[in-house]
Amino acid sequence: MTAASKPFSPQEGFFWKTKTLEEMSNAEWESLCDGCARCCLEKLEDEDTGKIYFTHVSCKLLDAGLCACKDYSNRTELVPDCVRLTPENVRTLNWLPPSCGYKLVAEGRDLYWWHPLISGDPNTVHEAGVSVRAVAPAETGAAQKAATILKSARQ
Ligand code: SF4
Ligand code: SF4
């Protein structure tokens, strides 16, 4: 019996196919993020099934219009809940969306056409409707209240 051959990928040869997550430079690592900001939404986990539900409430530091963190460098100091992604935890975190660039690469899968590394355009993630741009209210006022309820439900 011979080993099953790996399916051909048109992305063979690119750094995310030739390097492990640990071998990537900081710039390569950062570029795996597609800019969707879905990880910046409040999430709710069903305790019985472990299923994760994404809400439309965003972290207070997310600029939903730009779809970017307002203070990326200081994010973990300003938002203690913010999880800094690492080669170790992207393999185990259960709340990263299936389309997340880190998750796809960790699973040995191809990036989607709209990922900026494939399209060459940071806007394609928004054009494809994958990002949270302009749909996520900030975690203030009523949205803050909803987020608090969701956080309590998680505890
Ligand atoms: S879900 Fe993944 S790809 Fe999307 S913003 Fe978060 S880290 Fe980046
Ligand atoms: S602190 Fe920034 S990177 Fe972290 S969840 Fe909030 S918006 Fe996203």
Whether 90 lines ligand 1, by a CB cut-off of 6 Å, is no
Q: Which of 6-15, 114-123, 133-142 is predicted with the least confidence, judged by mean pLDDT?
A: 133-142
14: number of CA atoms within 13 Å, CB side?
A: 16
Give residue-wise pLDDT tens across range 64-91: 889 999 999 999 999 999 999 999 999 9
Whether the pLDDT of residue 152 is over 50: the answer is no
Whether 61 lines ligand 2, by a CB cut-off of 6 Å, is yes
Give residue-wise pLDDT tens across range 90-106: 999 989 999 999 999 99
Contact between residue 131 and residue 56 where contact means Cβ atoms under 8 Å apart: no
Model-level pTM?
0.83
Contact between residue 42 and residue 132 where contact means Cβ atoms under 8 Å apart: no
All structural domains of the chain with their residue ranges: 30-149
Whether 82 lines ligand 2, by a CB cut-off of 6 Å, is yes
Whether 93 lines ligand 1, by a CB cut-off of 6 Å, is no
Supply angle C-alpha 91, 96, 98, rounded to 5.
95
Phi, psi (rounded to 5 degrees) for 150: -65, -40
What CA–CA distance (Å, rounded) separates 122 from 115? 8
Which atom, in ligand 1's list, is nearest to the CA of 35?
5
Whether the pLDDT of residue 6 is over 50: the answer is yes
Q: How far is the CA of 82 from the centre of ligand 2 (A)?
A: 6
Whether the pLDDT of residue 10 is over 50: the answer is yes
Whether 69 lines ligand 2, by a CB cut-off of 6 Å, is yes
